[in-house]
Structure 1
Amino acid sequence: MRRLIVFSLITMLLAASAAPALAYGPRIKDVAKLQGVRSNQLVGYGLVVGLAGTGDSDKSTFTVQSIVNMLKNFGITISTSQLKPKNVGAVMVTAQLPPFIKPGDTIDITVSSLGDAKSLQGGTLLQTPLKAANGAVYAVGQGPLSVGGFSAGGGGASQQKNFPTVGTIPGGAIVERDVPTQFEAGGSVVFVLNKPDFTTASRISEAVDRRFGPISRASDAGSVSVFVPLEYTGNLVGFIAALEELPVTPDSAAKVVVNERTGTVVMGGNVTIDTVAVAQGGLTVRVSSSTEVSQPPPFSGGSTVVTQNKSVDAKEQQAPLIVLPATANVSDLVSALNAVGATPRDVISILQAIKAAGALHAELQLI
């Protein structure tokens, strides 16, 4: 009886551990996006007020002119020579307008100094229209800034953390109009791959056909067209949601990414090499210096002489010649390189030499 209970518990644990792997595997929505559904960039020019003497100087003439124009809208006429805009800063405001967002919703905005302001800390952005590339206003931003840094100084010394001339306003812009999104054309929807690949596109089409029948077609390496079945004509959102949840295994080309500045090497799991011989060794040159003092005998009339003696010692480490067999996975390649005793920077040189020899079947990318 006890054995039966233990066996049942083990079965339940194995089932529970296997379920997340299936539920959280790659899906179509993880490797592709719906064509026509995208964000839009917004930009605007505004003024930040309330700065404690850290705003733009008189040299920023556009800031002075902007203040004059703003006050004129409130019925106040003032000369540019009368302004000292140390508490005001001209800024550029940027934002991303997500798809399907509606008027009245709020979006986050980023505020960046345009003049010579030292800090935007403690400032408040005045009402700023945010325009798209077509020149239409889609949102209006305003509110107090949140600056993730500071700048302080005095007496010739100063200290700065991060960038105090850039700030954000979470939910600081109100959407005034939405962008019409058209993702259905001719009774079909199109999925665009994040990374175009013929194999991945074919697998997406096969996954859709297994679930709904022959309704999809891989147009090229970057897009898959799916025809909407008749039963989903009135429920397009449900159909797209069902498509996005279909599991799919993406494919990628073999690649080795090398960062020579940090000595970082990242290799994909499908990197293979042919049989190749590698010799790893190093030459160490050590220069040492010693001081000798020559003391003349007493009453000889000579003088003390100090001399510097330098010696050079060159030592070359033994470089074993190791044959790396043809491997089918990255684990064998890493184990073989570790057996040579190579450091990360040595691995970079070895991989470059193996690639030059034509034995590395992967793209070698330097960043």
Structure 2
Amino acid sequence: MGKPTLKFCMCLCLVMNCIVLIAVLCVAVLTHQGCSDGEFQKGAVAADSEMCSKIGRDTLREGGSAVDGAIATLVCTSIVHPQSMGIGGGSIFTIREKDGTVKIINARETVPKVFKSDLLTKCPPSYQLMSGTVRKTGPCSQEDHEALAATQEQFAKRIRGMIKDGQTHDALYYSVTPSMDSVGTTHMSLVDEYGMAVSVTSTINHIFGSKIFSPKTGIILNNELADFCGKVSSIQAGEQPPSSMSPSILYSTSRKHLVVAGGSGGSMITTGMALTLMNHLWMGMSLQDAIASPVVFVNSKNEVNFEPKFDKDVQANLTALGHSATDIKYFYNVINAVSVKDGCITAVSDERKLGKAAGY
């Protein structure tokens, strides 16, 4: 048999290239078919509001990294939910690069250089949910009055648009009750198409923080020093208060499974996070069901508190074991999370805060 001709070799190479191309296309099609409705393939954001989730998603889709998306989502949330967070507060970022490198950015609030020595003696015995206006320091200018009038008109216009002739809703629908927003904290989870993941929790502590905002910048100031109350007898300049914030990123090398999660809700963050991760990773629940499942919260007095609709049999068994059960009015556990497995992305914003995730 003679030596292969150049023409034959070229044809053979062309055929091989076609086979490789077809194989790649088949893998892509099969991968796409493997993701169910509601899942995403490139990137996703789970924040406290659909609007801010979409802004974060659009930032990712336009080429931004997960960090870019997180910053855009935070800025949006500070406007949409100013009672929860803002640049007058603090944050903790957990960032995972594509190669697995993890970075933590602790931007928590600190005790100022100058403070009253008897500050901790002024701690109230307990905190009550309060309604009212946010105070500002300094005199109001004409611009302040105009801005306030515009804000009030925009708020009224939004509420009017939500009123329907043929149907009524509870107050939470109109976002005018304390409920889940009574704790000034928010969390967002993001993954981008380049393999980076960000979990960030941000807070001004209580709802509307200190209830004081700067007359020049409009920034709402936090009241984070209140977290020292009842926990320490003295504080020092530069010290950071204790916190339950736990922005987390989990990755299983054996299962190739990434979970980005975190929450808001003060001391209930730990409870919400633990039960969500156990339900999803151990009990096999979907991320949606794991987050939505009612929780049992153990407070600092070792009393158990059951969220409405919690399993009655479990409640009865725990009570029979001698646990002291008490009733509390509000549960603040709110978890926003993103899961990536087998090339498919699931993003869930907790319905307790009427949140909705977004992706592409």
TM-score normalised to the size of structure 1?
0.22
Q: Structure 1 or 2: larger strand share?
A: 1
TM-score normalised to the size of structure 2?
0.22
Q: Structure 1 or 2: larger helix share?
A: 2
For CA contacts below 8 A with separation 6 or more, give which structure has more relative contact order. Answer: 2
